[in-house]
Amino acid sequence: MNKFVAVRKPYDVLHNIINIMEISLLYKKEEVNDEDDYNILITTGGCNRILVRNVNLDGFSSMHLPFQVNDNGDYISFTDKISGIDLDGVFMSCAKNIIDFLSLNSFSYDDIVLNLHESFGSSFTFEESVKYADTIISLLINDHGYFRFDDDEKNENGRIHPRYHLDFFCNNSTNIKIGSDVELKSVFFVDLFDLSKNRPYLN
């Protein structure tokens, strides 16, 4: 959880999604009965979303889950829906490599492919580099519908910056802030992502 970064630019959302996928692959799947008893919640079935409880328990973050979820009994795994690539150690390493590369360099498709090929040695062919680069770049340019709920008493400033507020990110970078009179609990988001439930209202 400490590897998560604050979302300031488009690459940050994918960085956090990749970290969530890594965590999910390392631990045994658990069914959640208590709606407050989790750090990461993955919902599927029409509204594929990830809900993450903030480390300091002052809010939640949510983003679209761009991968197919495979239920393997005690464990879950993930597959890219378009390319069919499984999210394994190679995929995670390639994604981190590209995100790190782009944090220091301007976007160049050829440079990304070459950097992947050179970073992983001669056993990683140009064809493989192109395949992984295409898949990860397509994830980088997609909008992942990121939003978060904050309980930010420290920076409260009337209706300009309400204590309880939702930040909706457009194009994964700029945000629109909507205030709430009450603290939103996890059940609000669980119901929000369940398309069979009545829509919640902000009062």
Give the pLDDT confidence score for residue 29 in this predicted structure.
62
> Measured between alpha carbons, how far is 68 from 105 in angstroms, rounded to an integer?
31
DSSP 59-126: EEEEEE--EEEEE-SS-EEEEETTT--B-SHHHHHHHHHHHHHHHHS---HHHHHHHHHHHS-TTS-H
Count CB-CB contacts under 10 A for residue 22.
15
CA 114 from centroid of its chain's CA atoms = 26
Give the pLDDT confidence score for residue 37 in this predicted structure.
62
Give me the tens of pLDDT residue by residue for the chain, a chain 203 residues long.
557 887 877 788 888 899 888 888 776 666 656 556 678 888 887 788 999 888 676 789 999 999 999 888 778 889 998 899 999 989 999 999 999 999 899 999 999 999 999 998 877 889 999 999 999 999 988 888 889 999 999 999 998 999 999 999 876 666 789 999 999 888 888 888 888 888 877 66
Handedness of CA 87, 88, 93, 94 (dihedral sign): negative
At 161, list the tokens: 């910056």
The model's pTM: 0.82
- Asked if residues 183 and 18 have their Cβ atoms less than 8 Å apart, the reply is no
